[in-house]
Structure 1
Amino acid sequence: MRNLFSASVIALAAIATTATATAEVELSGNVALTTDYHWRGVSQSNQDLALQGGFDLATDAGFYAGTWASTIDFLDDTDSNLEVDFYAGYGGEFGEGFGFDVGAIYYAYPDSDDGDLDFYEVYAGLSKSMGVADISGMLSYDPDNETLYANADLGVAFSDSFGASVGVGSYLDGFDEYTNYNIGGTYSVSGFDLDLRWYDNDADGAEDNIVFTIGRSL
């Protein structure tokens, strides 16, 4: 995992060095420890601790790229313990408080015994800022598995240090077309973000879960 992170940092730094001649570029990072890595309402770490982190490159022209990784545990024959995502896209604003975001993301499982785990998605989203509240929605399409996923989120900032959000997502096509939900709050203190969140979905045999995450921007 350290090698993957190092390679990503070097690549992003090279891009930044080239791009600064024409546009302002910002490189940032993040790290987190969570009691359970949830993705679309399903545990990716067997309801166990997961270490996560990533790097992002953004330009004032609206283009961005990044990488993010997490420890995982699928409890299957793939023996995969690591997920590494690579993504790039373009976002901007229009009208009064409206935003858009389009891009692609590749999900890689480099230590998996099953090469078929890797896949990619293309996505497009819209958002609306309403003062202390923000609402957003996104569609994600996976061409290989022929899945279409839609999600919507509403966030409210009660202060500079505390906010709450609720989200709902559903597979409109593929993966049994289940729907998932989450609701929680985030408190920021001394540079750390503390998030407590409840997850659930309506798939057969699903169990709800409460997840605590502590994260920090770098």
Structure 2
Amino acid sequence: MFKPTIFLISLLACMHADAQIFQRELGDYDLKLGTSPSRSMAQGLVKPSSSGSFHGGLDLSHDSGWYVGQWTPSMGLSPSSNLEVDSYLGFKQPFDQTLGYEVGMIHYSYPQLDTLDSQEFFGGLTLLGSRFGAAFSNDPDRRNSTLFANLSGNEPFGIGLSLKYTSHRLNSPVSIADGAYISTFNDWSVKLSRPWLGIDLNLIYSDSNLNGSACSAYSGHNSQCDGLLTFKAERSFY
């Protein structure tokens, strides 16, 4: 079990919280240092998130396809937050403009908490412009297996389609109101997206196989257990 080198990312604690990335080429290496995530993994399935006022990290990649980095979603500087350090290692290789693959792992650690570290293994494939990903995480309280597909290689009427399905297995079953226990559940989401006048329009439907009183045991990726239809309009100003 390795421990992350926290001093590498602690340099970012004094940086302003606005998103920014500093990039520099060092021979065959490309170094990125910033307060916004510089990489998504498994062809877009695994994306670092920011949960604290101070966050940042570094990413170092080589021309051969290897990359390594650390990302800290929260520096744990406020009483309501805890330090989290995500260290990752991966290999990404395109065969040509239409075919490529990626494999790697992430190690999640929480130095301020008496909790076990967790790991996530991931892989991705790019085929004719579409992206497919899979990830397996072994957390202290559960195991999650996720499949992802972004069919951007074939967009009828300019509409993109993304699908995500996750199976959750809890280490300790959760008791619900009727006396039953929930140890496994699944959730999924479908997203339709289309750019319009510089605005990203997204229509998202999410659901799970739990309903009624069983929803008290839900703790998946979606914002709620039951079916939910969400419309989002986003515009980037920089």
Instruction: Please indicate the TM-score interval, normalised by the length of the shorter structure.
Output: 0.5 to 0.7
Give the letter aligned to residue 165 of structure 2: S
Map residues 132-171 of structure 1 onto 2, 5 A cutoff: 134-143=129-138, 145-155=142-152, 165-171=160-166
Pairwise CA distance, 1:180: 2.3
CA contact (8 A) 2:52 2:81 kept: no
Aligned CA RMSD, in angstroms, stands at 4.4
Pairwise CA distance, 1:146: 3.6
Give the letter aligned to residue 201 of structure 1: S
Using the size of structure 1 for normalisation, the TM-score is: 0.57
Identity of counterpart residues, as a percentage? Answer: 24
Distance change (3 Å), C-alpha of 1:60 and 1:121: same
Pairwise CA distance, 1:85: 1.9
Match of 1:123 in 2: 122
Larger Rg: 2
Q: Deviations over 1:69-96 (max 9, x none)?
A: 3359xxxxxx645543221111112266
Number of equivalenced pairs: 172
1: CA distance, partners of 2:7 / 2:63: 29
The structure, 1 or 2, with the larger RCO (C-alpha pairs under 8 Å, 6+ apart) is: 1
Pairwise CA distance, 1:108: 3.0
SS at 1:176's partner residue? strand
SS at 1:28's partner residue? strand
Q: Deviations over 1:167-186 (max 9, x none)?
A: 22112453612112344467
Give the letter aligned to residue 97 of structure 1: T
Q: Does 1:177 align with 2:186?
A: yes
Match of 2:207 in 1: 202
Using the size of structure 2 for normalisation, the TM-score is: 0.53
Map residues 48-197 of structure 1 onto 2, 5 A cutoff: 53-71=56-74, 80-81=81-82, 83-94=84-95, 97-111=98-112, 113=113, 115-116=115-116, 118-128=117-127, 130=128, 134-143=129-138, 145-155=142-152, 165-172=160-167, 174=169, 176-184=185-193, 197=202
Q: Deviations over 1:189-209 (max 9, x none)?
A: 9xxxx8665555213535555
1: CA distance, partners of 2:62 / 2:91: 10
SS at 2:185's partner residue? helix
CA contact (8 A) 1:87 1:103 kept: yes
2: CA distance, partners of 1:49 / 1:212: 22
1: CA distance, partners of 2:61 / 2:54: 24
Match of 1:37 in 2: none
CA contact (8 A) 1:31 1:215 kept: no
